Amino acid sequence: MDESREEQDRKPPRPRKPPRKVSPKYLENAALHYLKRYAATQSQLQRVLLRRVDKSLKFHGGDRAEALGWMTALMEKLVRNGYLNDEAYARMKATSLRASGRSSRMITQKLRMKGVAAEVVARKVADATSEVSDEEAARIWARKKRLGPFRKNLQTREENRQRDLASLARAGFSFGIAKKIIDSDPA
C-alpha cells in the first residue's frame, strides 16, 4: 500500500489547462456561474472577471480595452436585470453579521472591503443596528466566545477580565459596552 502512495507522489503534476479566450459570451457565462455560487457586489464580480480577462489576454493576446468594454456592458446588464444589487447584498450581510454578534464598526469595515458605497453601508448598518443594538450584539459575541459571565469556570472570570475586555474591543465594541457586558451578572 505504501508503494502505490510513493508511486503517486512521483508522478508529475497534471499540466494546467490554458485559460479560455475571452469573449462577451465567455464573460457572461463566467459571471453567471460565479453569481450562482456566491452573493457578490459589483466590485467583487468586477475583480473576478478582470482576473479572468487578464489571464486570457496574457495567454492568447488581444485588446484589453475591448475586453473591458464587454465587461462594463455585462455589469450594466446584470445590474439592470437584478442579478447584482449592492443594496440587497449590504442589507443581507449587515443583518446576518449583526445577528452573529458583530459590532457596527466591524460590519462597516467588512462591507467597505467588499466595495459597497459608503452611503449604502451607513444606511444598512443603521437598519441592522435598529433591529439589534450594540449591547445585544456584544452580549451575543461574548456568549459565542465564552467571555466574562459566559465562561465555563466562573472562578477565573476576574483573572481574565482584562483579556475579555480586550477581546470585545478588538471585535469593535466600545469600552463602555465591553465593560458593561464583562461585568454583568451571569444570569
Say what the pTM is. Answer: 0.79
Q: DSSP alpha helices (H): ranges in 61-133?
A: 64-80, 86-99, 104-113, 118-131
CA distance 56 to 64: 10
pLDDT at residue number 179: 94
pLDDT in tens, 107-136: 999 999 999 999 999 999 999 989 889 999
DSSP 123-178: HHHHHHHHHS-HHHHHHHHHHHHT-GGG-S-GGGTTTTHHHHHHHHHHTT--HHHH
pLDDT band for 14, please (50, 70, 90 cuts): confident
Confidence of residue 102 (pLDDT cuts 50, 70, 90): very high
- 45-88 pLDDT, tens digit per residue, is 999 999 999 999 998 888 999 999 999 999 999 999 999 999 99
Please name which of 128, 138, 139, 145 lies closest in space to residue 103, comparing C-alpha atoms. 138
Q: What is the pLDDT of residue 4?
A: 62
